[in-house]
Amino acid sequence: MEITWLGHSCFRIRGREATVLTDPCPPSSGYTIGKPTADIVTVSHSHEDHCYVKAVAGKPVLIQRPGEYEIRGAFVTGIGTYHDERQGATHGPNVSFVVEMEGVRVCHLGDLGHAPTSDQVEEISSVGVLLVPIGGNTTIDGATAAEVVSIIEPAIVIPMHYRTEVTKNELAPLDRFLTEMGAKDLEPQPKLTVTRSTLPHETQVRLLDYRR
């Protein structure tokens, strides 16, 4: 499985049989994701920086609601969560997605705005790779993100939805999250290639460089 960060909360998760694209973002976000091809597109919520589906080439299946889906060998589970700590009263609902391909479970938390409940954690259990927002403002911040990581206990955690040199939104940078995680001297990599057998036994933070 190959995971590439296209910017903001948009990732391409490519397996042997299917390619999943998460939360496609428009040029107004500061990122240019190009015209990626995908079989499946997941949208965590309807805010404009997360649902730019028209950028995706081909005829992908769009998933934007909780539920269980099986498409081209990929198993996708949508888990209902919230965009804030007031059960959606401020920013609305959010869907976190677990994508399972080739024995690896990847969880994209979307714009999660709260610590997950025990029931939600149970649905997200045994995650190999966790894609977690850390920028605060409209999502959990770096400190809460670190708490979420400790609750879910993924093998690999990749931060997203934070301030970079091109970000247009008011988001916090990486520093607080990396400090909370005790992660030092990390170099961004262009993509992550992972298999079930190469997953580490203890949680590791990996940084991806968004595709320019």
Which CATH architecture is the domain 2-205 placed in? 4-Layer Sandwich (3.60)
3-state secondary structure 165-198: CCCCCCCCCCHHHHHHHCCCCCCCECCEECCHHH
pTM listed for this prediction? 0.96
* pLDDT per position as a tens digit, 35-54: 999 999 999 998 899 999 99
* pLDDT per position as a tens digit, 156-186: 999 999 999 999 888 999 999 999 999 988 9
Q: What is the pLDDT of residue 86?
A: 79
Sign of the Cα torsion 149, 40, 50, 65 reads negative
Domain extents in the chain = 2-205
Does the pLDDT at position 212 exceed 70? no
